[in-house]
Amino acid sequence: MKRYAVIGNPIGHSLSPAMHNAAFKELGVKAAYEALEVERLDRAWEHLRKTYSGINVTIPHKVEILKYIDEREMAVDLIGAVNCVEFGDVVRGYNTDMYGAVEALKTEVPKLRNKRVLVLGAGGAARAIVYGCLLEGMKVSVLNRTVEKSDELAMEVEEKLSKRISVVPEALLDKTDILINATSVGMAPKVDASPLTSSIPSNVVVMDIVYNPLETKFLKQARAAGARTIDGAEMFVRQGAESLRIWGYDPPVDAMRRAVLKALGGR
């Protein structure tokens, strides 16, 4: 039986085991997936290599694990972090967040090229989303509480992709097709918080990366305005599906989504 795991510290809250084990059951393959708390990567690495066919990686190991990788895809170089590893004769590192964000967007906007997207935030998740959107040919703006951090991301993007993003001081929603919350604002237990106070036009597609709660205050604002929405579970499922593809499986996305929704409380 092949074994897979997600490693991190802490890791008990992870929904990945429920999602991936549901996928393996749906596919009828003999494989198992677990959450593994790893405090020190250097001490755990040999065990991971010997025991698992592949792993997902979360905080705080997504950057440190780079030094153990033999080969890595372009997304890793762009984002500067690894969240999926394939073990074999060589160790290959991937970052599926970029793919997950783009595929989640395509559920509501199949043709992304030339769409105008405003990303709220400039942290790790925002970085993955920004690069994914740029590679799809989208026009990207970033709004972050700390302008210096947005400026750093803009300079990094120009250096790595020779593309430009706009750093904006406010949400110009009349010039926006897609609005994405790439911050943790609104995540439990602070469910009454929203990253945006201004009203949202009905023609803007709104995505939130927060999936606990599934319907954030931000998404409630958007739905009340008549806007189409994409919840945080969608990006989570899509990045998980890409991990399965990397490991050689055809991901049953619907079964994975059902498992995540059930784990979130049956919603």
> What residues act catalytically?
62
- Per-state percent for the chain, helix, strand, coil, to nearest 5: 40, 20, 40
For 197, phi then psi, to 5°, come to -105, -20
Element (H, E) at 117: strand 116-120
Which structure tokens are listed for 103? 């595929």
Rounded distance between C-alpha atoms, residue 216 and residue 191, angstroms = 7
- Are 88 and 115 within 8 A, CB to CB? no
* Measured CA distances, 98 to 57, 69, 72, 79 (Å): 15, 19, 14, 9
For helices 124-135 and 147-161, what crossing angle results, to 10°? 40
